[in-house]
DNA sequence: AGCACGCCGACT
DNA sequence: GTCGGCGTGCTC
């Protein structure tokens, strides 16, 4: 096996294939499929992944692999295969797909250096840049106006050398430990030789006579109140030696985790778990939909299913939406499986993620709980994959490769012959339809634990409030209910879909709204900073008080954001304590956890927030959930808007009365008759499913048809339009007449960051030519995409039509 | 992507 | 005759 085929880290379609390299003698046996290598590529050096080893190549004059970055492959044979499949399926590049499977810290970093080889002085302009150093950065050379032709001449003359440096960025965290370098008896002898007045030295030595285990230097110094000046003589005498120990960064070090035992299962839990256990026992690949209402005890089913998997010596992946990867959730898994659990989520630093990933790679853990990308955990003996809240949009990656974790889970489940469990109270229509058809096995858990009823939902028609002269954003009913709960010492969750203070700012004289100069979207007023912010790019300006168009002073706020709700509520109920949770208050690391624990310690009456409070939270003292305005969501130009509204309402409602205290839910809306709202208030998923399926059938949407969205953007609107038009034309020409091709249409937000956005959509049932055609189109526009700032993005089975 | 090669106009 | 601009094509 002297030849390796390598996917190189050059993300273009022209290099989207393997390149063969000779494995030099010194690296034979070390280079294997799945390791990262550094290879010469043209004049440069690049990182690459070894796909396979082979004896022969079609290519002569192979170059040699220069360096191997891993001793243990970072990609298992399964992941290599998966990446290949995924890249083809998603029309993305192999290298992008493989990078997406690994912690980002494993991406190579590239540097160019200039090294001075002679003791003689270089030309003066170069000497000033070198400033006495031997090696400088090429980028620094260019930045400081270094002359390239001069550099070239010096290279030719052999006075300087030009080097490409490729490095993995990863480093393992190491700590300095001390241990005895000799036998205890020898140490005792040495103790006699140490002068009496060297008191501290004797103390240190005595410590090691009594403790044979290595100790961290920092801790020893703390304990004995000494420092390295005292230690050094002992090290010099060879009595004590320094060692480095690799440790893992432990993000959960400080939190106390109480071990838990399996809870007795309810009847419905038993019924649901039995088929999963059978599938685990028989090593059968089966896809389950666990359709259980909020509070029905799905997590306990997951935990006990995993227990069986671990008993068989196999491993488990649990995916949770990023947003609900709360400390509460992590504690449940750590409580049950202790040190066998690795946790992966975006709140971790790059280094922490890498450490958790390393534990998986080394098989030091058996269970991984994580967000989307945890689906690529490098386990080799998977026994179950669980996707909780499978309808969550965060399971679809919105960058290349635009994969959905569910599809990856199916691939891995099939590969390992193990069950995949999709859990949700409100599965997305595609999933439920498949379960109904028998493609997935449907497991129903229609009741809450302890037979708690779902909290009753009251719908308040805000139009009537307006007629009755109530111009505030709170219905009289909601205010009364809030006061009532506050009197009883119970807590309230208020949900609003908008952050900021108000949704837009408009001039009453001329009706002009203040818009972002680079995006086609109204700016949002943020009171805390007195700024207008664009939520799509990071544009922000001071609040304007004079209309930019007509110079009148009638600029007013419209719409409602979380900040404004907080303020308005404090005016109505002065004694109320509110914790506000949105992107703005949780930006800082750990803020999320801090706010939640403050609320659970009853430091506030109300938890007010956006999307992020809708999911997974479980506070026993919450008895009222209020939804302030759901209508904005229903009006979104997206075929899933009804479904998303239904899901959100159901989830928010589930936050109330989860324990002993009965709960209630109040939904304020201007469209109380909409079926999503009405059926969500009755907790009737089934009814909603049939109703929504009818709509989907009528308008040719999933699950009846598959969708592909092709999104084109360019700084010039006409160009963006023309390209999109051309693409629709090409599609119509090459695809069968069974498909519907819509477009070109402007995106819901036509301009973001000064780029105009157009799109076209393909609706199809079965279109074998589709991927090949799309690939050809991308090929056709390839040059323009690089040179002309054109962007074409392909999204198969999109989640968002924006 | 990044780099060389090659062709063309400008200028010591 | 040489330098540097950008278009074209290749990288095992």
Last residue of a domain, one of A125, A144, A167: A167
User: Looking at per-residue confidence, does A417 or A738 come out higher?
Assistant: A417
Q: Which H or E run contains A595?
A: helix A591-600
Check which CATH number belongs to the domain holding A371 and give it. Answer: 3.40.50.300
Two tokens at A283? 């090593």
Q: A64 and A211: one domain?
A: no
Q: Which nucleotide is nearest to A61 (CA to C1')?
A: C12
The answer to whether A646 touches A679, Cβ cutoff 8 Å, is yes
Strands (E), A496-573: 504-507, 524-526, 531-533, 540-542, 555-558
Backbone φ and ψ of A251, nearest 5°: -65, -15
Residue nearest to nucleotide B2 (CA to C1'): A44
What pLDDT sits at residue A253?
57
Give the DSSP letter string of A627-651: E---HHHHTSSSTTHHHHHHHHHHH
Comparison of pLDDT for A715 and A1, the residue scoring more:
A715
CA-to-C1' distance for A43 and B4, Å? 9
Residues A413 and A272 reside in one and the same domain: yes
The CA distance from A572 to A369, in Å, is 43
A737 burial via Cβ count (<10 Å: 0-12, 13-18, 19+): exposed
pLDDT of residue A165: 87
Using the predicted structure, report yes or no on whether residue A116 has a pLDDT greater than 90.
Answer: no
The burial of A440, by beta-carbon neighbours within 10 Å (0-12 exposed, 13-18 middle, 19 or more buried), is given as buried
Please give the nucleotide, over all strands, whose C1' is closest to the CA of residue A783.
C8
Instruction: Confirm whether residue A550 is marked as ligand binding.
Output: yes
Q: In this structure, is residue A572 part of a structural domain?
A: yes
| β-bridge pairing A44-54 and A36-41 | antiparallel
Instruction: Enumerate the nucleotides of strand B whose atoms come under 7 Å of any protein CB.
Output: 1-4
3 state SS for A645-694:
HHHHHHHHHCCCCCCCCCCEEEEEECCCCCHHHHHHHCCCHHHHHHHHHH
pLDDT in tens, A136-181: 888 888 777 777 777 878 887 788 888 888 887 776 666 778 888 8
Q: Are strands A36-41 and A18-22 parallel, antiparallel or unpaired?
A: unpaired
Among candidate residues A67, A88, A108, the one where a domain is terminated: A108
Residue A699 CB neighbour total at 10 angstroms = 11
Residues A267 and A410 in one domain: yes
For residue A615, what pLDDT band results from cuts at 50, 70 and 90?
low
Beta bridge partners of A215: A178
Task: Give residue-wise pLDDT tens across range A406-455.
Answer: 999 999 999 999 999 999 999 999 999 999 999 999 999 999 887 778 88
Q: How far is the CA of A613 from the C1' of C10 (A)?
A: 53
As a whole number of angstroms, the distance between CA A155 and CA A116 comes to: 9
d(CA A500, CA A677): 25
Nucleotide nearest to A786 (CA to C1'): B1
Specify which residue's alpha carbon is closest to the C1' of nucleotide B3. A43
Query: In the block, which residue shows the tokens 């659970």?
Result: A600
What is the spatial order of strands in the sheet that A108-116 belongs to?
A135-137, A108-116, A160-168
Q: Domain end: A118, A137, A167, which one?
A: A167
Rounded CA–C1' distance between A736 and C8, in angstroms: 36
List, for residues A68-112, the tens digit of each pLDDT value. Answer: 999 889 999 999 999 999 999 999 999 999 999 999 999 998 888
A246-259 average pLDDT score: 68
| Rounded-to-integer distance, Cα A321 and Cα A390, Å | 8
Q: Phi and psi dihedrals of A463, rounded to 5?
A: -65, -40
Write the burial class of residue A404 (CB in 10 Å: 0-12 exposed, 13-18 middle, 19+ buried).
buried
Within 8 A by CB and 6+ apart from A569, the residues are A474, A482, A494, A576, A578, A606, A608
Mean pLDDT of A712-728: 92
Rounded percentage of chain A residues whose pLDDT exceeds 90: 51
Q: Do A619 and A596 share a structural domain?
A: yes
- The stretch A306-324 carries a mean pLDDT of 92
Spell out where A34-144 has E strands. 36-41, 44-54, 67-68, 108-116, 135-137
| Cβ of A12 less than 7 A from strand B | yes
Measured distance CA(A751)–CA(A738) in Å, rounded: 32
> For residue A526, what pLDDT is reported?
81
Local confidence band at A677 (pLDDT 50, 70, 90 cut-offs): very high
Cα A352–Cα A377–Cα A307 angle in degrees, nearest 5: 100
Report yes or no: A456 and A421 within 8 Å, Cβ to Cβ. no
Domain span at residue A116? 110-167
Question: What nucleotides of chain C have any atom within 7 angstroms of a protein Cβ?
Answer: 3-4, 7, 10-12
Instruction: Tell me the CA–C1' distance in angstroms for A713 and B8.
Output: 34
> Mean pLDDT over all residues of chain A?
88
Closest nucleotide to A164 by C1' from CA: B2
- Strand C proximity list, CB < 7 Å: A 10, 12, 14-15, 18-22, 39-42, 57, 59, 61-63, 149, 787
CATH assignment at residue A785: 3.30.70.600
Do the domain assignments include residue A307? yes
102-131 of chain A touching strand B, CB 7 A cut-off: 110, 112
Can you give the distance from the CA of residue A65 to the C1' of nucleotide B3 in angstroms? Answer: 20
Distance, Å, A721 CA → C9 C1': 30
Give the pLDDT of residue A688: 97
In which element (H, E) is residue A409 found?
A: helix A405-416
Of the candidate ranges A423-437, A488-502, A668-682, the one whose mean pLDDT is the lowest: A488-502
* H or E stretch at A167: strand A160-168
| Amino acid whose CA is nearest the C1' of C6 | A787
Going by pLDDT thresholds of 50, 70 and 90, the confidence category of residue A187 is confident
pLDDT band at A336 (very low <50, low <70, confident <90, very high): very high
Please tell me what DSSP assigns to residue A514: P
What Å value separates CA A149 and C1' B9? 20
Q: Does residue A15 reach within 7 angstroms of strand B, measured from its CB?
A: yes
- Give A786 CA → C6 C1' in Å: 15
From the CB of residue A583, how many other CB atoms can be counted at a distance below 10 Å?
14
Residue A727 has pLDDT above 90, yes or no: yes
Task: Tell me the mean pLDDT in the region A652-678.
Answer: 87
Instruction: Please check whether residues A582 and A688 belong to one and the same domain.
Output: yes
Which nt has its C1' nearest the CA of A10? Answer: B1
Nearest-nucleotide field for A41 (CA, C1'): C11
Edge-to-edge strand order for the sheet containing A531-533? A524-526, A531-533, A540-542
Residue A283 lies in a domain: yes
pLDDT at A479 over 90: yes
Distance CA A659, CA A623 (A): 9
User: CA nearest A557: which of A538, A544, A540?
Assistant: A544
Q: How far apart, in whole angstroms, are the C-alpha atoms of residue A695 and residue A674?
A: 13
- A45 and A91 together in one domain: yes
Rounded-to-integer distance, Cα A529 and Cα A541, Å = 10
A511 lies in a domain? no
Percent residues over pLDDT 70 in chain A: 96
Nucleotide C10's nearest residue (CA vs C1') is A42
Instruction: Indicate if CB(A11) is under 7 A from strand B.
Output: yes
* Confidence category of residue A503, pLDDT binned at 50, 70, 90: low
Residues 41-60 of A with CB under 7 A from strand B: 42-44
DSSP codes joined into one string, A337-369: HGGGEEEE-TTS-HHHHHHHHHHHHTT--SEEE
Residues A337 and A259 in one domain: yes
Instruction: Determine the distance between A141 (CA) and C3 (C1') in angstroms.
Output: 21
Is A530 part of any domain?
Answer: no
pLDDT level of residue A255 (50, 70, 90 thresholds): low
- Starting at the earlier edge strand, list the strands of the sheet with A215-216: A215-216, A174-180, A240-246
Q: Stated in angstroms, how far is A38 CA from C10 C1'?
A: 19
- Length A140 CA → C2 C1' (Å): 28
User: Whose C1' is closest to the CA of A162: which nucleotide?
Assistant: B3
Q: HEC profile for A29-59?
A: CCCCCCCEEEEEECCEEEEEEEEEEECCCCC
Determine whether the annotation assigns residue A537 to a binding site. Answer: yes
Give, in Å, how far the C1' of B9 lies from the CA of A13.
34
A412, two tokens = 């891995």
Domain check: are A210 and A303 in the same one?
no
Q: What pLDDT, on a 0 to 100 scale, did the predictor assign at position A276?
A: 98
Residue whose CA is minimally distant from B4 C1': A43
pLDDT of residue A480: 94
pTM for this predicted structure: 0.87
pLDDT at A501 over 60: no
pLDDT at A499 over 80: no
Smallest CA–C1' separation from A6: which nucleotide?
C12
Q: What is the pLDDT of residue A252?
A: 64
Task: State how far the Cα of A148 lies from the Cα of A170, in Å rounded to an integer.
Answer: 33
What does the buried/exposed string (b/e) look like for A156-183 if buried means 16 or more CB atoms within 10 Å of the residue's CB?
eeebbeeebebebebeeeeeebbebbbe
Residues 6 or more apart whose Cβ sits within 8 Å of residue A770: A708, A735, A739, A762, A764
**Residues near A236 by Cβ (< 8 Å), separated by ≥ 6?**
none
Q: Is residue A224 part of a domain?
A: yes
- The nucleotide whose C1' lies nearest the CA of A787 is C7
Per DSSP, helices labelled H in A131-255 are 138-143, 148-156, 184-193, 199-210, 217-224, 228-236
How many other C-beta atoms lie within 10 A of the C-beta of residue A675?
16
Q: Which pLDDT belongs to residue A198?
A: 82
Does one domain contain both A682 and A740?
no
How many Å apart are CA A178 and CA A194, to the nearest integer?
19
| Dist CA A587 CA A759 (whole Å) | 32
Q: A149 is written with which tokens?
A: 């032709």
From the number of C-beta atoms within 10 Å of its C-beta (0-12, 13-18, 19+), residue A705 rates as middle
Is residue A610 domain-shared with residue A465, that is, in the same domain? yes
A553 falls within a domain = no
**Ligand-binding site membership of A760 (annotated):** no
Q: Are residues A568 and A656 in the same domain?
A: yes
3-state secondary structure of A108: strand
Work out how many domains chain A is built from and give that number. 6
pLDDT tens-digit profile of A765-775? 999 889 999 99
The answer to whether position A327 is within a domain reads yes
- CA-to-C1' span, A14 to C10 (A): 9
Q: Are residues A686 and A714 in the same domain?
A: no
Is A324:A654 a contact under the CB 8 Å cutoff? no
């Amino acid at each position: 096996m002297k030849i390796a085929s390598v996917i190189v880290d050059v993300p273009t379609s022209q290099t989207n294939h393997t390149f063969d390299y000779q494995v030099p003698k010194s690296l034979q046996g070390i280079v294997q499929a799945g390791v990262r290598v550094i290879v010469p590529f043209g004049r440069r050096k690049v990182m690459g992944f070894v796909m396979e080893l082979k004896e022969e190549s079609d290519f002569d004059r192979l170059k040699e692999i220069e360096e191997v970055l891993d001793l243990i492959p970072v990609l298992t044979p399964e992941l290599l295969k998966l990446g290949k499949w995924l890249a083809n399926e998603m029309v993305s590049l192999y290298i992008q797909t493989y990078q997406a499977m690994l912690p980002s810290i494993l991406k190579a970093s590239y540097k160019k250096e200039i090294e001075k080889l002679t003791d003689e002085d270089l030309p003066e302009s170069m000497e000033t840049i070198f400033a006495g150093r031997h090696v400088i950065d090429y980028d620094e050379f260019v930045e400081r106006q270094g002359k390239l032709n001069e550099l070239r001449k010096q290279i030719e003359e052999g006075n300087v050398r030009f080097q490409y440096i490729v490095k993995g960025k990863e480093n393992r965290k190491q700590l300095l430990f001390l241990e005895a370098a000799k036998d205890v008896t020898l140490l005792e002898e040495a103790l006699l030789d140490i002068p009496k007045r060297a008191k501290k030295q004797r103390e240190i030595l005595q410590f090691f006579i009594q403790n044979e285990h290595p100790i961290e230097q920092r801790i020893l110094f703390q304990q004995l109140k000494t420092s390295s000046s005292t230690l050094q003589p002992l090290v010099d005498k060879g009595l004590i030696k320094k060692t480095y120990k690799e440790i893992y960064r432990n993000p959960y070090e400080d939190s106390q985790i109480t071990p838990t035992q399996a809870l007795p299962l309810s009847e419905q839990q038993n019924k649901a778990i039995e088929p999963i256990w059978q599938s685990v026992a028989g090593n059968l690949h089966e896809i389950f939909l666990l359709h259980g209402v909020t509070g029905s005890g799905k997590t306990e089913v997951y935990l006990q299913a995993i227990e069986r998997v671990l008993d068989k010596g196999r491993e488990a992946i649990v995916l949770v939406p990023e947003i609900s990867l709360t400390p509460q959730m992590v504690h449940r898994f750590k409580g049950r499986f202790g040190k066998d659990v690795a946790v992966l989520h975006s709140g971790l630093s790059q280094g922490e993620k890498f450490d958790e990933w390393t534990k998986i790679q080394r098989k030091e853990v058996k269970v991984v709980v994580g967000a989307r990308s945890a689906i690529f955990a490098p386990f080799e003996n998977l026994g179950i994959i669980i996707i909780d809240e499978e309808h969550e949009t965060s399971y679809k990656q919105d960058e290349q490769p635009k994969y959905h974790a569910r599809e990856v889970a199916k691939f891995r489940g099939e590969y390992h012959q193990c069950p995949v469990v999709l859990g949700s109270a409100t599965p997305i229509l595609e999933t439920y339809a498949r379960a109904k058809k028998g493609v997935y096995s449907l497991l129903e858990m229609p009741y809450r634990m302890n037979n708690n009823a779902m909290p009753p939902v009251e719908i308040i028609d805000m139009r009537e409030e307006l007629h009755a002269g109530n111009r505030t954003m709170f219905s009289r009913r909601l205010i009364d209910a809030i006061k009532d709960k506050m009197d009883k010492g119970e807590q309230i969750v208020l949900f609003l879909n908008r952050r900021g203070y108000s949704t837009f700012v408009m001039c009453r004289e001329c009706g002009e709204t203040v818009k972002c100069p680079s995006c086609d979207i109204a700016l949002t007023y943020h009171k805390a900073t007195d700024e207008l912010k664009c939520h799509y790019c990071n544009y922000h300006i001071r609040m304007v008080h004079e209309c930019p168009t007509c110079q009148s002073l009638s600029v007013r706020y419209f719409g409602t954001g979380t900040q404004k709700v907080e303020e308005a509520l404090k005016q109505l109920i002065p004694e109320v304590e509110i914790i506000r949770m949105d992107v703005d208050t949780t930006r800082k690391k750990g803020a999320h956890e801090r706010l939640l624990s403050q609320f659970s310690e009853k430091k506030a009456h109300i938890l007010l927030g956006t999307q992020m409070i809708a999911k997974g939270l479980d506070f026993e003292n919450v008895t009222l959930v209020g939804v302030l305005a759901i209508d904005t969501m229903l009006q979104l130009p997206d075929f899933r808007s009804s479904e998303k509204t239904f899901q959100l309402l159901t989830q928010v409602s589930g936050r109330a009365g989860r324990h002993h205290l009965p709960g209630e839910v109040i939904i304020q809306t201007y469209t109380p008759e909409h079926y999503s709202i009405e059926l969500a208030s009755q907790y009737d998923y089934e009814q909603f499913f049939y109703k929504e399926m009818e709509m989907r059938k009528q308008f040719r949407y999933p699950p009846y048809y598959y969708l592909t969205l092709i999104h084109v953007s360019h700084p010039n609107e006409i160009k963006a339009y023309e390209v999109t038009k051309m693409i629709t034309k090409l599609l119509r020409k090459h695809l069968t007449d069974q498909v519907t091709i819509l477009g070109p249409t402007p995106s819901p937000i036509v301009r973001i960051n000064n780029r105009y956005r157009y799109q076209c959509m393909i609706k199809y049932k079965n279109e074998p030519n589709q991927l090949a055609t799309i690939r050809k189109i991308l090929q056709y526009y390839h040059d323009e995409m690089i040179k002309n700032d054109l962007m074409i993005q392909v999204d198969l089975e999109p989640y968002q039509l924006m």
